Amino acid sequence: MLTSTKNLLEKAQRYSYAVGAFNLYNLEGAKAVVNAAEADNSPAIIQILPHILKYGGSPLIALFLEAADSASVPMSVHLDHCEEPAVIETALEAGIQSVLADGSKFSFRDNLAFTREMTALAHAKGATVEAEIGRISGTEDGMTVAEKEAKMTDPNQAKEFVAASGVDFLAVTIGNVHGEYYSEPRLDFERLAQVRQRLQIPLVLHGASGLPALMIQRSIELGVCKFNVNTEVRQKYLQFWREYGKTDSQSDLLDCQKAATGAMQEIIAQKIRLFGSAGKA
């Protein structure tokens, strides 16, 4: 059932678990999330990145919205990492429940001005807004941020930013990275605790792929209510097709689509259980 992202995350915050937000590209991904969420009686969020939205257009948003609405568990659809007002407006007009108005590459003041404007736009349409303070390093889906450009979230700035912008959720930067971790993850939990002390709204952590269970649990204890997942699910999908391409199988395409969906569903189910949302629908 289609539900507001705000409702999903506020419930998660109240009961100390997190909702998985999965970046998707096609029908197979949507079915994998719905199937996994229904099997574990869990809420979930379908996410779409701006360049995927530009590729798939309004039909892809309609597909994701229908998938979420037809599910027997609460789900929402979220526009991830968008810095273009026109794209945000298009997504909101199409019925998306929430957007990440991403001004993290701008100065604090410019980020605040952009986020305040997008928040007013989204709220007028009954949607909610995630913002990002700090800059997450890493590479994923064509988006690269060098380590030297990455900046940790400043707890005092976070408080000022949320109060001035009116955003509904905040994505924090505490050592998390987009894509794969090529060394042992090091998250600054003291920084996260300071942010939590200053804010009441749900917190978001990007770059959940590859984080160990103990770090996930500690993040939840300190107020993270939403984890973004992309890399592991996407890699599983690509792995299936690469391995299939090495065979002389004459399987029907529909059978392959079902198998690819199942492969992704396994990863998504693992994340749902790791985030503690199983049984919380």
Q: DSSP string spanning 159-224?
A: HHHHHHH--SEEEE-SS-EES--SS-----HHHHHHHHHH--S-EEE---TT--HHHHHHHHHTTE
Among candidate residues 220, 261, 177, the one with its CA nearest the CA of residue 19: 220
pLDDT at 141: 46
Q: Of all helices (H) and strands (E), which one includes residue 20?
A: strand 19-23
Secondary structure element (H or E) that encloses residue 82, with its range:
strand 75-82
Catalytic residue list: 80
- Say what the pLDDT of residue 184 is: 66
Distance CA 113, CA 120 (A): 11
Taking the alpha carbons at both ends of the chain, their separation in whole angstroms is 10
pLDDT at 247: 79
Quick one: which of 66, 54, 3 has its CA closest to 25? 54
Q: How far is CA 6 from CA 98, 204, 274, in A?
A: 8, 12, 21
The whole-number pLDDT of residue 150 equals 55
pLDDT in tens, 219-235: 999 999 999 999 899 99
Report, as ranges of residue numbers, the positions in the chain whose pLDDT lies below 70: 135-150, 178-184
pLDDT in tens, 58-68: 899 999 999 99
Please report the pLDDT score of residue 142 as a whole number: 47
Domains and CATH numbers, the chain: 5-274 (3.20.20.70)
